[in-house]
Amino acid sequence: MDVADKTVIVAGGNGSLGSVIAADLIRRGARVASIDLHPPVAGGSTFFAQADVADEEAVTAALDAIAETFGTVHALVNCAGSIHSEPLVNLMAAGRRRHQRSTWDSVLRGNLTTTFVLGAAVAERMAASRTKGVIVNFSSIAAAGNAGQSAYAAAKAGVEALTAVWARELGPLGIRVVAIAPGFVDTPSTRAALAESTLEDLKRRTPLRRLASAQHIADAVAFAIENDFVSGRTLAVDGGLSI
């Protein structure tokens, strides 16, 4: 799919990673609609709908507004979510020493339920309008099982499972589904979630000896959208860390 003159939704499009993806798609000629809980920091050419994409009613309202402005949606980038680290058991913690159920629920809602709710709603509209579109979900290297990230790893593994299931179900309708699994990306959210010593260790363990840039991930998203014979797969963009 050539993204020029196509309508692309970027969920989480105002975040440190999503905003770079949105800007890159705009440069490639796409009409980009951002859906995010938080309004953009600065103005731009991206249409913005404020919504919690784990809320079905909010998603319906946002998609209606986007359809009224742009018409048919051709692609969705499911980039909403956030990193969370928490060990299953922490014997050094005061009080409760095991992983909090509340954070488990919150992390799965923010990283997996969001993907399901918005992906299902967009897929329904694509199918009803006979649009041959593409859904790009966001997994992570954590899906393989990062120590200290029970909830986040489970959520991202779930995203990869959804990607495979949807590719099988929606492929006959002309809708492709692809997942991007970044390694560690040099963004403010990554630096807020991980200590500098941890990041330096990750660089040493990565064959390319550096973190990804947000633009590396944006390039992968563009590839997933533009290559019409890629579906059902998770594309690792991790500098070789997972090999």
Query: Which residues face 137 on adjacent strands?
Result: 78, 179
DSSP state of 230: -
Catalytic residue among 48, 152, 166, 184: 152
Residue type at position 8: V
Query: Is 152 tagged catalytic?
Result: yes
DSSP for 214-240, please give it.
Answer: HHHHHHHHHHHHH-TT--S-EEEESTT
Query: Residue 31: helix, strand or coil by DSSP?
Result: strand
107 CB neighbour count, 10 Å cutoff: 25
Select from 165, 46, 68, 62 the least CA-distant residue to 122: 62
Residues noted as catalytic: 152
